[in-house]
């Protein structure tokens, strides 16, 4: 049972919130902002607090929230405010509050906030579990995902990392297969041993065998001394064979022998050399199709496909695009000595709608280019490639996503239109809420709620008008 606490100086408002809640929640009401004594109450899941109560003992929103979290460390705080107090409520959200509601509170709006809190709790619990139970500190930023598909990938990594089982990573170019291979190695019992990466498609066919298995002096023209291959260099550790589908038939035969016998022979040599390696292979091709066409040995495919992990393309994990973009901005701020703080709303909408044929690698390249070109502290449409945005910075019309249910496709389209419409309107009105509301034919309260839903700040539009 979820436990919710309502803090308000008006008892009728506490009853109002209680009436909106279902029976599955336990509700308490407090007439004060923060109790004076008592141990922290970790049972409260959600805390609804009026702005008046929030600031009753401290005029600083941030300090007031900090006091509440001291008493209720597990609670998501939702601030309630009148229309004239919206500015304070927005300040509270910027200081860490989960969201805000304006009086009079409608049940549909309240239910939406409650569902968002529950969803956030589930995601955070799963992430905390992953962090606490398995991942090392260097990997935490990579496993911070809101995508169920990626969470499933990380569950599989946890299951297989501690074994010596051969892993086959599949996925489109740019999805991060090499990063996943490194995560598996970093969380295995071989992590202190070498991790050797081989891009099979980048090595000429005549040199693949020598690169993988080494060669003896005089084995071929130019072999002036013995050379150890990648398998010997990876002894005790992990070898990552990227683009495994590109290797020749002769190399496939030798790879099959290595997996079965755990022995190699250098090119030009006759002695078997034992190797203890964990093999992780990766491909962006359909391996079953390659086998059907006779391009890849099916027996080798079976040996490599012991534990397959499919890495989803970026278009199947769009919810991670804002987080990934922010991470890349921080990365390039350090590398390029820039001070970019965010992305223009028009651009973020486009990033969320774009199909990303180059996946995460393409997103990284796009953000790097924008950080180089941008002269301000927010990435503007002009800093992005024209195939993402037209010259006016408007979102390019994308094809209808018939793969989605009608309800979901309609929601995405309406949200996109609302944000574009509001952004254009606010820009034309210079961020003046009253003027924008009048032109839109809605009340200022309704406009403020829509702006909050789409993360639009009137200050940004005022800056643009004054610049």
At a CB cut-off of 8 Å and minimum separation 6, what does 315 contact?
Answer: 355, 356
Residues pairing with 50 in the sheet: 80
Q: State how far the Cα of 280 lies from the Cα of 448, in Å rounded to an integer.
A: 52
> In a 3-state reduction of DSSP, which class is residue 7?
strand
Nearest residue to 178 (alpha-carbon basis) of 238, 224, 111, 88:
238
Q: What is the pLDDT of residue 26?
A: 47
Q: What is the pLDDT of residue 37?
A: 44
Task: Give me 17's structure tokens.
Answer: 């919130």
**Where in 179-259 does DSSP place strands (E)?**
195-199, 238-242
Nearest residue to 29 (alpha-carbon basis) of 55, 9, 45:
9
Residue pair 241/280 in contact (Cβ under 8 Å)? The answer is yes
Residue pair 274/314 in contact (Cβ under 8 Å)? The answer is no
Task: Give me 136's structure tokens.
Answer: 């090392």
Nearest residue to 182 (alpha-carbon basis) of 262, 128, 263, 242:
242
Q: What is the pLDDT of residue 34?
A: 45
Nearest residue to 78 (alpha-carbon basis) of 7, 161, 150, 151:
7
Task: Give me 118's structure tokens.
Answer: 């529950």
Task: Give me 104's structure tokens.
Answer: 């009079």
Q: State how far the Cα of 311 lies from the Cα of 317, in Å rounded to an integer.
A: 10
Quick count: other Cβ atoms within 10 Å of Cβ 447? 22
φ/ψ (deg, to 5) at 188: -105, 175
Q: What is the pLDDT of residue 111?
A: 80
Task: Give me 29's structure tokens.
Answer: 């009401």
Q: What is the pLDDT of residue 404?
A: 63
Burial of 223 (0-12, 13-18, 19+ CB in 10 A): middle
Q: Which pTM value belongs to this model?
A: 0.58
Residue pair 340/326 in contact (Cβ under 8 Å)? The answer is no
CA 458 to chain centre: 27
Q: Verify cis geometry, omega within 30 degrees of 0, for the bond prior to 104.
A: yes
pLDDT in single tens digits along all 467 residues of the chain = 467 778 877 666 666 666 666 544 444 545 444 444 455 676 777 888 888 777 776 667 777 887 787 777 778 888 888 888 888 888 888 777 888 888 777 788 888 887 887 777 666 655 555 545 556 555 556 667 878 888 889 889 988 998 999 999 999 999 999 999 999 999 899 999 999 999 998 888 778 888 899 888 887 777 778 888 899 999 999 999 999 999 999 899 999 999 999 998 888 888 888 999 999 999 999 999 999 999 999 999 999 999 999 999 999 888 889 889 988 998 899 899 888 988 888 788 888 888 888 999 999 999 999 999 988 888 988 888 877 764 334 444 455 556 667 766 666 777 777 787 888 888 888 888 888 888 888 788 888 888 887 778 777 777 555 55
Q: State how far the Cα of 345 lies from the Cα of 325, in Å rounded to an integer.
A: 13
Residue pair 316/355 in contact (Cβ under 8 Å)? The answer is no
Q: What is the pLDDT of residue 33?
A: 45
Residue pair 277/181 in contact (Cβ under 8 Å)? The answer is no
DSSP 395: B
Q: State how far the Cα of 417 lies from the Cα of 401, in Å rounded to an integer.
A: 15
* Residue 320, CA distances (Å) to 25, 109, 118, 141, 324 in order: 31, 25, 19, 12, 6
The residue to which tokens 């229309």 are assigned: 83
Q: State how far the Cα of 467 lies from the Cα of 463, in Å rounded to an integer.
A: 6
Residue pair 148/172 in contact (Cβ under 8 Å)? The answer is no
Q: What is the pLDDT of residue 235?
A: 93
Q: State how far the Cα of 315 lies from the Cα of 175, in Å rounded to an integer.
A: 10
* Residue 442, CA distances (Å) to 412, 418, 433, 455 in order: 22, 13, 11, 18
Residue pair 353/416 in contact (Cβ under 8 Å)? The answer is yes
Q: State how far the Cα of 384 lies from the Cα of 388, in Å rounded to an integer.
A: 7
Q: What is the pLDDT of residue 323?
A: 87
> In a 3-state reduction of DSSP, which class is residue 316?
helix
């Amino acid at each position: 049972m979820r436990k919710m606490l309502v803090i308000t100086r008006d008892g009728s408002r506490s009853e109002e919130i209680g009436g909106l809640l279902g029976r599955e929640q336990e509700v308490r009401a407090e007439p004060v902002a923060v109790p004076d004594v008592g141990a922290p109450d970790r049972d409260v899941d959600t805390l609804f607090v009026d702005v008046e109560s929030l600031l009753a003992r401290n005029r600083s929103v941030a300090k007031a929230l900090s006091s509440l979290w001291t008493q209720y460390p597990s609670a998501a705080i939702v601030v309630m405010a009148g229309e004239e107090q919206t500015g304070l409520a927005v300040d509270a959200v910027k200081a860490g509050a989960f969201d805000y509601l304006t009086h009079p509170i409608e049940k549909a709006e309240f239910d939406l906030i409650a569902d968002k809190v529950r969803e956030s709790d589930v995601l955070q619990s799963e992430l905390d579990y992953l962090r606490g139970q398995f991942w090392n500190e260097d990997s935490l930023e990579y496993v911070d995902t809101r995508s169920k598909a990626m969470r499933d990938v990380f569950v599989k990594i946890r299951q297989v990392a501690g074994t010596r089982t051969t892993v086959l990573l599949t996925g489109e170019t740019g999805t991060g297969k090499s990063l996943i291979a490194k995560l598996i190695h970093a969380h295995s019992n071989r992590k202190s041993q070498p991790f050797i990466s081989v891009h099979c498609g980048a090595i000429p066919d005549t040199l693949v065998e020598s690169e993988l298995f080494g060669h003896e002096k005089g084995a071929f023209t130019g072999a002036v001394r013995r050379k150890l291959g990648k398998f010997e260099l990876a002894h005790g550790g992990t070898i990552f064979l990227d683009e495994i589908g590109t290797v020749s038939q002769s190399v496939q035969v030798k790879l099959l022998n290595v997996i079965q016998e755990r022995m190699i022979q250098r090119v030009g040599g006759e002695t078997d050399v034992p190797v203890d390696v964990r093999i992780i292979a990766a491909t962006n091709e359909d391996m079953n199709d390659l086998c059907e066409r006779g391009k890849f040995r099916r027996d080798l495919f079976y040996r490599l496909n012991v534990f397959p992990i499919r890495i989803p393309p970026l278009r199947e994990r769009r919810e991670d695009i804002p987080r990934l973009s922010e991470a890349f901005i921080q990365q390039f701020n350090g590398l390029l000595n820039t001070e970019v703080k965010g992305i223009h709303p028009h651009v973020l909408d486009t990033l969320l709608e774009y199909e990303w044929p180059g996946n995460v690698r393409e997103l990284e390249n796009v953000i790097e280019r924008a950080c180089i070109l941008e002269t301000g502290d927010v990435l503007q449409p002009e800093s992005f490639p024209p195939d993402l945005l037209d010259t006016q910075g408007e979102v390019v019309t994308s094809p209808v996503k018939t793969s989605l249910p009608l309800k979901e496709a309609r929601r995405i389209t309406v949200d996109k239109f609302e944000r574009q419409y509001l952004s254009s309107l606010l820009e034309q009105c210079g961020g003046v809420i009253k003027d924008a509301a009048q032109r839109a034919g809605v009340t200022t309260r309704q406009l403020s709620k829509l702006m909050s839903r789409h993360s639009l700040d009137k200050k940004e539009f005022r800056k643009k008008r004054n610049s």
